[in-house]
Amino acid sequence: MVAVSEVDGRPVGLADHYFPTKLFGEFEVAYAREPSVTKVMEHHGFGDYERARTKVTAGIPDAVDSNVLQIPRTRPILIVDSVNVALDGTILQASHVRYAADRFQLVFETVEADAKRFP
């Protein structure tokens, strides 16, 4: 699945998402009904899942990324490769996302959900 994310009508990200066909046999039907990856996972019985890995690097866009993100080929991009797994460790999704670095911010929180946060 390929997706372009936009903010205020400007593209900020271009994503390639991969899902195992044997686990997501009705992916296209479920996504057409409700275009949400989370809803598709729920539809296939994976309501609970977690991020197993996220790797962030910087790079230079190729011609396609440059065109879709509407940036020069000399402007750096953020590249995020990630894997989501079921609670038993089964790989559910792998993603390769390219972000226009000057239009996007990544925030990683590493505290428990109910812990106090800094403002």
Q: Is residue 114 included in any domain, yes or no?
A: no
Q: What is the pLDDT of residue 20?
A: 96
* Number of domains composing the chain: 1
- Let me know if residue 54 belongs to a domain: yes
Return the pLDDT at 118: 58
pLDDT at residue 99, as a whole number: 97
For the chain, the residue count is 119
Domain enclosing residue 42, as ranges: 2-103
pLDDT at 109: 79
Whole-structure pTM value: 0.85
Residue 113 within a domain: no
**DSSP string spanning the chain?**
-EEEEEETTEEEEEEEEE--TTT-TTHHHHHHHS--HHHHHHHTT--SEEEEEEEEEEE---HHHHHHHT--TTS-EEEEEEEEEETTS-EEEEEEEEEEGGG-------S-TTS----
Q: What is the pLDDT of residue 32?
A: 93
116: in domain: no
pLDDT, residue 119, reads: 60
Q: Is residue 119 part of a domain?
A: no
Kind of pairing between the strands at 2-7 and 49-59: unpaired
* Residue numbers in the chain where pLDDT is lower than 70: 111-119
Dihedral (Cα; 68, 61, 10, 28), 10-degree rounding: 50
Determine, yes or no, domain membership for 89.
yes
Q: How far apart are CA 99 and CA 101, in angstroms?
A: 6
Domain annotation covers residue 108: no
CATH number, domain containing residue 25: 3.40.1410.10
